[in-house]
Amino acid sequence: MRSNHRRLALAGLAAAALTLALSGCTQLELHGYLPGFEAGKPPVTNHTQQIDSLWVGSWIALLAVGGVVYFLIIFAAIMYRRRRGQTGLPVQFRYNLPIEVFFTATPLILILGLFGFTARDETAIEARDPSPDVKVQVYGKQWAWDFNYVNEKVYTAGVQAQPDVQRKSAASRTETQAGTGFDQAALPQLVLPVGKSVELELRTRDVNHSFWVIDFLYKKDLIPGQTNYETFTPLRTGLYQGKCAELCGEYHSRMLFTVKVVTPTQYTAYIESLRAKGNVGALDSSLDRDNNSSGTGSQNSGGTEGSQQETSGGGN
C-alpha cells in the first residue's frame, strides 16, 4: 500500500513539473525554436504557422514514441531482472502475439500518420495561385540574385555580398573574415507588398542554387533547365534575411539577399523608383551561363519562352 502511495505522489509531482514547464515556455519554445514568430504579431507568411505545426507535431509524436520505448526498456530491465538467490537465465517468454502485433502496427501507424500530415501540408503549400497579385522571376547566379517584377516590367540586378568597408576595428575585420561583416545595404533585395498573393518563378543562370528566406521556414531549389514556383502571402511587414541553401561554388557563403515586406503604397513607390532609375524590362535567360549549350542537357534548350528581353544592364 505504501508503495502505491509513493507512486501516486511521484506521478503527481511529475505532472506538476510538466505543467509548470509548459506554462513557462517562451514564444520561441512554443514554436519549436523556429524563427519567424513574434509575440502578438501574425506569422510572416500564410504558410508559416502550418509549417510550424507540422514541425512541432512531429517532435511531439517522436518524443512520445521515445518515452514509450524507454519505459518498456526500463520496465523489462526491472521486472525481469535476476532475483536474489536465482541462478541461470530468468524465465524466457516467446511468441507473444499481442506484443508482436503492437510492435508491428505501432510504427506502421506512426509512419503513415506522419506521411499523411506531411502530404496534406505539402499539397497546400505547393498549390499555385491562378492569379497572383505579384509575380516575380527570381534568377540565382554565382553568386547573387536578379529579380524581375513581371507585372510591373521592372527589374533589379544583384551582386554578391560585399564586406562592410566602414567597419575599421580589428573586431570588425575578424567578423568580415568569418563571413558576417557584410554591407547589408548592398545586398540584393526583393520587395513585396504585405497582404498580397505572391508567386515566385525560380530559375538558375548556371549551377544548382536554393532560394531560402529563413523566417519563411521554406526553401526551394533552383535547378538548371527547370522552373520551380513558390506561392505565398506575406502577412507581416519587416526585413527578412535570405541566402542560398545549396553549395554552389567558391563564394556560396556570400550569396545573400534580403526580402523587405512593405505596405502596398510603399511597394508602388519602390516600383516607380526602379522605373525612374531606368530598370525597365527584364533580365531574361539570355544572360544564363551554360557550359553545355550545345548538348542535350542544356538548360537553355527550349528557348526563353515566357521571359522578357533585357533592355538595359547586366545580370552577372
Amino acid at the residue 253 = S
Residue 120 confidence (pLDDT): 92
Give the model's confidence band at 37: pLDDT under 50 very low, under 70 low, under 90 confident, else very high. confident
pLDDT one-digit tens code per residue, 80-120 = 777 777 777 777 777 788 888 888 898 898 889 889 999 99
Res. 32: pLDDT tops 70: no
Q: Which residue has the higher pLDDT, 18 or 92?
A: 92
Section 131-145 average pLDDT: 94
205 Cα distance to chain centroid: 22
Res. 180: pLDDT tops 80: no
Residue 94 confidence (pLDDT): 76
Residue 62 confidence (pLDDT): 87
Enter the C-alpha cell of residue 265.
Answer: 503604397
Res. 19: pLDDT tops 70: no
pLDDT one-digit tens code per residue, 224-277 = 989 999 999 999 999 999 999 999 999 999 999 999 999 999 999 999 999 999
Residue 29 confidence (pLDDT): 62
Give the model's confidence band at 309: pLDDT under 50 very low, under 70 low, under 90 confident, else very high. very low
Prior bond to 143 cis, omega within 30? yes
Residue 15 confidence (pLDDT): 57
Residue 284 confidence (pLDDT): 84
Give the model's confidence band at 192: pLDDT under 50 very low, under 70 low, under 90 confident, else very high. very high
Residue 26 confidence (pLDDT): 62
The total of other beta-carbon atoms located within 10 Å of residue 208's CB is: 15
Residue 306 confidence (pLDDT): 37
Amino acid at the residue 62 = L
| CA proximity to 232, closest of 208, 261, 209, 266 | 261
What is the helix, strand, coil percentage profile of the chain, to 5?
Answer: 40, 20, 40
Residue 14 confidence (pLDDT): 59
* Domains in the chain with CATH codes: 21-81+93-126 (no CATH), 134-286 (2.60.40.420)
H and E: helices and strands count for the chain: 6, 10
Q: Which residue has the higher pLDDT, 16 or 221?
A: 221
Q: Which residue has the higher pLDDT, 71 or 309?
A: 71
User: Global pTM?
Assistant: 0.73
Give the model's confidence band at 141: pLDDT under 50 very low, under 70 low, under 90 confident, else very high. very high
Bridge partners for 257 per DSSP: 242
Q: By CB neighbour count within 10 A (0-12 exposed, 13-18 middle, 19+ buried), where does 211 fall? A: buried
Contact between 281 and 315 under an 8 Å Cβ cutoff? The reply is: no
Give the model's confidence band at 7: pLDDT under 50 very low, under 70 low, under 90 confident, else very high. low
Q: How far, in Å, CA of 235 to CA of 149, rounded?
A: 20
Share of the chain above pLDDT 90, in %: 43
Residue 77 confidence (pLDDT): 85
Residue 184 confidence (pLDDT): 85
Name residue, grid cell 499539397. 123
The mean of the pLDDT values for the chain is 80
Element (DSSP H or E) covering residue 36: none
| CA proximity to 186, closest of 90, 283, 258, 109 | 258
Q: Which residue has the higher pLDDT, 19 or 41?
A: 41
Section 289-303 average pLDDT: 51
Name residue, grid cell 509575440. 39
Q: Which residue has the higher pLDDT, 132 or 284?
A: 132
Residue 21 confidence (pLDDT): 54
